[in-house]
Structure 1
Amino acid sequence: MASLKDVAKLAGVSLMTVSRAINTPAKLSPETYDKVRQAIDALNYVPDLSARRIRGDKAGPATLGVLALDTATTPFSVDIILSIEKTARERGWNSLVVNLFDDDSAGQTVDLLLAHRPAGVIFTTMGLREVRIPPKLRDQPLVLANCFTREPAVASYVPDDEQGQCDAMRYLLARGYRRPLCIHLPESIPAAPLRRAGLERAWRQAGLPREQLLQYHLALGDQHYLDVPSIIERHLHHGRPGFDVLVCGNDRVAFVAYQALLARGLRIPQDVAVLGYDNMVGIGELFLPALSTVQLPHNEIGRQAALHLIDRREHLQRVNIGCPLLARASL
């Protein structure tokens, strides 16, 4: 990583001038400031805000930097952050979380994180996403958590959505369910095709014809969760369901489905069983009856991502973390 001295040398100015360009640019002429700014950009220099590092004291604990895209600001995946922090503390490390919002300048946010000189960076997102690596992170020890990239040579830890849905479907088949109605997430959401592929794989391996599967994808946008009742309505005949289990793309779909089924006098699971996905924090067991769902392994994803950096793992592959079925009263 470039130093203040490197910037001064490239710009042909003193260390004091570089310091002024960073902290009090109004004290410099526009020409001098532009010269220093160009050197900073050319070297990808990030100001070092860590007093410990400035003093050269490296005896303290190392720090994991966490760049959190929506992860720390929603209840759905905050367990990733908590697991990273817990794992870091167990190993004698610190962790520092910097939130990245969709309308932020990624470059400035990354600068803020790197200014604290972390020993490694975990880039994590809410919900499985494909991401682009900010340029200044490419030369850092880096691992992705709950996200992936098409760029080479970056390790990632993600939920095994395909296998999780496959295992859940096998469980349903083993208990005699043969007429599923499947309401998947929008096709553009990365987890959706994986979960559908897992479901179809289990169905195919059971020797059942694909045309017996009733499958729908919701349109993109939260308002389309309200399309669930109309999908269910299409498959009710004289008030009775033409399906024996409702396989939901996530627990929010299941929440709307419960209301639609119960409002029509249908009993869960006696008339229709319901399966969700995600195990939303603190929600599944508040359904009446308790919702059966598939657990997103956020704790383990956070733990493995932290250990990847702490243990200096060398592999650069995508690692799928198992998603276990939580069978409750809705089946």
Structure 2
Amino acid sequence: MASLKDVARLASVSLMTVSRAINNPELLKPETLRQVQHAIDVLNYVPDLSARKIRGKNTNLSCMGVLAIDTASAPFSVEILLAIEQCAGKYGWDHFVVNISSGDDPVPAARQILSRRPDGIIITSAELREINIPELLRDRNLVLTNCYDPGNTALPSYIPDDYHAQYDATEYLIQRGYRRPLCIWPPAECLSSGLRRDAVQNAWLNAGLPAGQLNQHNITLSDIYYRDVVTLIAHYIDDNSPLFDCIICGNDQIAFVAYQVLLTRGISVPEQAGILGCENMTGTGELFYPPLTTIRSPYCLLGETAALHLIEERVSSGRTYVPCRMLRRDSL
């Protein structure tokens, strides 16, 4: 990797002149600046922005650090990080990501982030969860997205409005004439599962429909391959005739398994049973046949809003609920 000395040698100027070309180009003569820029281009020299920041130089480039809890490795939430990257670049900010698993100690990652001297920090999560902010981050310029700290209600947190999204989707099902839904949710330990389950029940009862026609189940926490979905659906099928008229799925993975079970049994979607998904997992909705109607989790908006919170120096605090939208395709 080329160094500052290499640039100075090729351009036949001093180290100070190269430094001025990078930090204060207006102080150099145009001919000298072109000479240094040519050397930089030839050598593919990249200035060490973090080092300049530590030395207190004015780089005119702010930086945000991202502590990503499972976010970079989850197929359905990586859009959060993409949105942060795009928003930061749009407004001339630098950014970097440190990814950890939910079971990891966050303190080493927090130290790694602070060593880069960011102007602000975003903590993201692949799924909605409660987190405990490490002590060394609590006095920093911090914003959370898709997670919140129950011990610090004033901390700015952007989270999806799962409840109202599921409530509205249930009203849509009712308007379409569905009256015997089978609901299959992720494990009860997942925060969003409880919110969505309550939303379906409240929308159902508020419509004056019998509680006995609403069947809701959670898969177990250990069921990482969604085998519970197969068993639950089979329980509500009598001689290849469904005892339900639609399946409300807590995520698109459950919907994927539900499709396979129904089609294996010769049950057509949506003619004999409709299917509603949730999250709109990246790149999969249109691959279902027929295409899956689902609730789109606002991952892009969660990332963008968190980044803008730092960039625009917003003063809002507490939880801000980001709306989720329904994608109406052909499975209902």
Residues 101 and 232 of structure 1: CA distance in aligned 2, closer, same or farther (over 3 Å)? closer
**Secondary structure at 1:82 match in 2:** helix
Cα deviation code 1:6-52 (max 9, x no counterpart): xxxxxxxxxxxxxxxxxxxxxxxxxxxxxxxxxxxxxxxxxxx9311
- Aligned runs of 1:1-331 on 2, under 5 Å? 50-102=50-102, 104-152=104-152, 153-223=154-224, 225-331=226-332
Residues 135 and 177 of structure 1: CA distance in aligned 2, closer, same or farther (over 3 Å)? same
Q: Residue type of the partner of 1:281? A: T
Q: Residue type of the partner of 2:171? A: R
Contact map agreement 1:50 1:115 (CA 8 A) in 2: no
Contact map agreement 1:218 1:224 (CA 8 A) in 2: no
**Secondary structure at 1:177 match in 2:** coil
Partner of 1:33: none
Contact map agreement 1:69 1:126 (CA 8 A) in 2: yes
Long gaps (5+) in structure 2: 1-48
Partner of 1:20: none
**Secondary structure at 2:226 match in 1:** helix
**Secondary structure at 2:279 match in 1:** coil
Displacement of 1:103: 5.3
**Secondary structure at 1:276 match in 2:** strand
Residues 90 and 204 of structure 1: CA distance in aligned 2, closer, same or farther (over 3 Å)? same
Cα deviation code 1:268-290 (max 9, x no counterpart): 00011011111111111101111
Distance 1:83 1:292 in 2: 24
**Secondary structure at 1:208 match in 2:** coil
Distance 2:278 2:184 in 1: 11
Aligned length: 283
**Secondary structure at 2:278 match in 1:** coil
Cα deviation code 1:106-156 (max 9, x no counterpart): 222111111111111000011111111011110101010111111222110
Cα deviation code 1:224-281 (max 9, x no counterpart): 6111122112212232111111111111111111111100111000011011111111
Q: Residue type of the partner of 1:59? A: T
Contact map agreement 1:155 1:317 (CA 8 A) in 2: yes
Residues 54 and 182 of structure 1: CA distance in aligned 2, closer, same or farther (over 3 Å)? closer
Contact map agreement 2:53 2:59 (CA 8 A) in 1: no
Distance 1:103 1:238 in 2: 44
Displacement of 1:101: 2.8
Contact map agreement 1:63 1:119 (CA 8 A) in 2: yes
Deviates more, 1:70-79 or 1:287-296: 70-79
Cα deviation code 1:74-111 (max 9, x no counterpart): 22211101101111111121111111234544222111
- Runs of 4+ residues over 6 Å off in structure 1: none
**Secondary structure at 2:183 match in 1:** strand
- TM-score where L is the length of structure 2: 0.82
Displacement of 1:209: 2.0
Residues 73 and 233 of structure 1: CA distance in aligned 2, closer, same or farther (over 3 Å)? closer
Long gaps (5+) in structure 1: 1-48
Percent of aligned pairs with the same amino acid: 47
Distance 1:74 1:183 in 2: 21
Distance 1:135 1:222 in 2: 34
Cα deviation code 1:141-172 (max 9, x no counterpart): 10101111112221100111111111111111
Contact map agreement 2:52 2:59 (CA 8 A) in 1: no
- TM-score where L is the length of structure 1: 0.83
Distance 2:70 2:215 in 1: 33
**Secondary structure at 1:252 match in 2:** helix
Aligned-residue RMSD, C-alpha: 1.4
